[in-house]
Amino acid sequence: MPIRHVDKFIEAYLDNQLSPKIQLQVENHLQECPLCTDHLYEAKRLRRELGPVLRLTLGQPTPPSRLHMEVKQALQEQAARPWFRINWVAPIRVFGAVGNMALMAALAFGAFVVIRGYIPGAALIYNLPTDVSSRVAPLSVQLVSTPILMIDNAAKDPNSQIPKAGSGRNKLGDTLNLPNALGGPVVTAKSTPVARATVTEGNDQQNGYSSSINSGRDRPAGNPGSLKLPGGTIAYALYDPTPGIEAFRTYFISPDGKDLRQYPLIDVSEPALSPMANNEYPLAVRTWEEKSHPRTILTTDFSSHDQTAVANYWEDAQADWSPIENRIIFASQRESDRIWRLYTAWGDGSREDNLFREGQSPTFAPDGQRFAFESCDKYGTSCGLWRGHLYDSSESGYYQILEERSAKSPDWSPVGEKIVYMANPNNNWDLFMVNSDGSDMQQLTEDPAIDGLPAWSPDGEWVAFISNRGDEWGLWILHVASGKLHQTIAFNNGYLIPEDRRPYNEHGKRSWLDEQISWSNN
């Protein structure tokens, strides 16, 4: 379905006014198109952020999303005029802290001048009710004058297709930035330190934690804020658009956000850290260019001095290490039909085995023999998460764990039978957990933002994932038992999605869903 069809139907989709057939087409396309998902989330956010203001000023019980879009477009058009200079204030963290009340405060200081010029009858209403200021005051928002006005380039370009991590505009998620004043003194908003866009409990805020959904699970005894951040190393990759680089970079960081370092090789992604302490090659990466190394899966040390190509095709991807031996399992589209299939190889490149099973995103169990992966049955139905065994490649050796077509990026706990994965059964990517036998499925996160690419901590108590919570892409960790969240780092130095060019689009445009992160004690 072309993107314009999703744009055309997005308002009717949110209002449940589509026929079942069209609704299914839209939902299927949204699962595959990050840009279209962005339009959906933008419409949802505009309803959430502008809805209270428009209801307050216009007296409409439920202002339509089209009105929200017109208001935002009006603000952008005004900002583009040479005589009009505007500061997109109340940045992402402020919105995460004070939400709609900050919008009301901004409108109270002049932004409604723009709105009333584009909405019939709005000129009859100018002043907000006098009780607005009393409702905003407890939020500790200070308005201070500033003589310099700037406009975020991303905000000028609503058609930008690359999600910049850490920018004011994130594809797959965007927030509305309102001016604080029009035609008068310009103000910027400062907020006192508060929790991010999640609800805090007790004194968690003072301990650097925020709360996530944790339904159906008991919290640990004692003060939940006393949890200590875990150790180890988390690996992730971002696309660096800097002229002259324009390639993937892989990074390592400790879960507390310290000790950020960069892997020396350029244009490698999909990092997989070995859980074995004595592994000569503790890292596996997918390479994208052939100038300095083969374009395939490499196993390497952290300095990149020792490198071994363990696979033979550039389509090989999604490696995961065995916890008991120097072996990786991976997926590949190397066959002419471009169907994903599963393989294993020794970390020194000495041997490769075909598992004769269609699937992708494989992950080893703690015993190093079983593995979970994304797949369907031989008829192309019953899609979801499956389980297999290295030494039983017969059809009966495979067992379906979960039937959920949107389930992706499974990661098997290194200490038990829990498998964490991402899915969007309700048109929003969240984290879920299920036993390896398919029992006790639990939802770990429930947030309007995108949560995905989960990876277990070495002790099996935390899960790392990427998210655009607070409208900035970053790396987060979740304590599974208590539901406590901690942001490890905001991605300020790259994009999740590369440019739409070779070699990243040779079998279709690369999505953030194609990446992976990894966590180990190394």
pLDDT digit string (tens) for 456-480?
Answer: 999 999 999 999 998 889 999 999 9
- pLDDT at residue number 507: 78
The domain ranges of the chain are 33-191, 204-223+234-520
CB atoms within 10 A of CB 338: 12
Q: How far apart are CA 271 and CA 292, in angstroms?
A: 18
The helix (H) or strand (E) run that includes residue 71 is helix 65-80
- pLDDT at residue number 281: 86
CATH class of the structural domain 204-223+234-520: mainly beta
Q: How far apart are CA 122 and CA 53, in angstroms?
A: 13
Q: How far apart are CA 205 and CA 310, in angstroms?
A: 46
Distances (CA, A) of 279 to 14, 191, 257, 346: 51, 47, 25, 12
CB atoms within 10 A of CB 482: 21
Rounded mean pLDDT for each run of 10 residues along the chain, 522 residues in total = 57 70 76 69 65 51 52 57 42 41 46 42 37 36 33 37 39 30 30 31 42 44 64 96 92 95 94 90 90 84 89 92 96 93 93 94 97 93 95 83 96 97 94 97 95 97 95 95 96 89 87 96 86
Q: Which amino acid is at 96?
A: G
Report the first-to-last Cα separation within the chain, whole angstroms: 45
Q: Buried b vs exposed e over 280-316: b needs ≥16 C-beta within 10 Å?
A: ebbbbbbbbeeeebbbbbbbbebebeebbbbbeebbb
Contact between 115 and 122 (Cβ < 8 Å): yes
Q: How far apart are CA 331 and CA 223, in angstroms?
A: 43
- pLDDT at residue number 268: 95
**pLDDT 10s digits, 420-452:** 999 999 889 999 999 999 999 999 999 999 999
pTM of the model: 0.62
- pLDDT at residue number 249: 95
- pLDDT at residue number 368: 96
**What does the block give as tokens for 226?**
């006393």
Under DSSP, is residue 484 helix (H, G, I), strand (E, B) or coil? strand
Contact between 299 and 328 (Cβ < 8 Å): yes
Q: How far apart are CA 453 and CA 465, in angstroms?
A: 5
